[in-house]
Structure 1
């Protein structure tokens, strides 16, 4: 099982998970999984379709919001916020390292937290988003 980092009471992030990890996540009490990794990013990566089937078989809700590394879009952050609002918690979001999932959380968190609180929470989970701070500020503006 990969290293899971908690961002909030209802959201944790992790690096790539496997189909076998989904049963473990369900046993740990997770109720939903968000996959932020595009299919075929690496040859040995499990396909989203296979992960979705394994999640459903384990009683987990599943959402795929693929984000190309270094190209987090505003629409993806809004889709992530919608997923957080709709999916049963607790939720695990993952990508290759957990950074894209953390960035998506950070953007949607601008609705309720100031930039410093967002950066501090990400840092406490092991994700340094200081170079992402200007993006947070820009996303916050209408």
Structure 2
């Protein structure tokens, strides 16, 4: 269920509080929730996932991304979350796509190679084409 984007980054479709233990067993020390509350009626509450994470000794941060797209503050929040975590990060949304795209933007904003980020995302089954031009602009400006 969790897809590997890098040695320190996993992406996933919606998780449940019960799956937090599985994340912990895989070395996850931070969970990033990229799904807005109430996006779907069957969606587990972010507070329940946060409580399960805290009980498991895992950090938790919510950086909701709607289908309207990404903003620079979201990218900066993701950069901060990733840089402040010494272990693996698991980011999730409905399908894992928004989490992967936000990770790609954050990494290229840090100066990482867009081609390498794109290849890693593709290997995990995700396409960064919707944000590739922004990734290139971030990389050029870094």
What TM-score, normalized to structure 2?
0.91
Which position in structure 1 is the counterpart of 2:74? 76
Root mean square deviation, CA, Å: 1.5
Distance change in 2, residues 1:131/1:65 (3 Å): closer
Tell me by how many angstroms 1:73 deviates. 1.1
Contact 2:111 2:138 in 1 (8 A): no
Q: Distance in 1 between matches of 2:130 and 2:102?
A: 14
Tell me by how many angstroms 1:5 deviates. 0.9
SS in structure 1 of the partner of residue 10 of structure 2: strand
Contact 1:61 1:88 in 2 (8 A): no
Which position in structure 2 is the counterpart of 1:139? 138
Structure 1 residue runs of 4 or more that deviate by more than 4 Å after TM superposition = none
Contact 1:5 1:14 in 2 (8 A): yes
Distance change in 2, residues 1:114/1:88 (3 Å): closer
Contact 2:32 2:63 in 1 (8 A): yes
Which position in structure 2 is the counterpart of 1:37? 35
Q: Distance in 2 between matches of 1:97 and 1:86?
A: 25
Aligned pairs for 1:6-85 (under 5 A) are: 6-85=4-83
Q: Distance in 2 between matches of 1:80 and 1:131?
A: 18
Which position in structure 2 is the counterpart of 1:96? 94
SS in structure 2 of the partner of residue 7 of structure 1: strand
Which position in structure 1 is the counterpart of 2:111? 112
Unaligned runs of 5+ in 2: none
SS in structure 2 of the partner of residue 87 of structure 1: coil
User: Is 1:129 the counterpart of 2:128 in the alignment?
Assistant: yes
Tell me by how many angstroms 1:114 deviates. 2.1
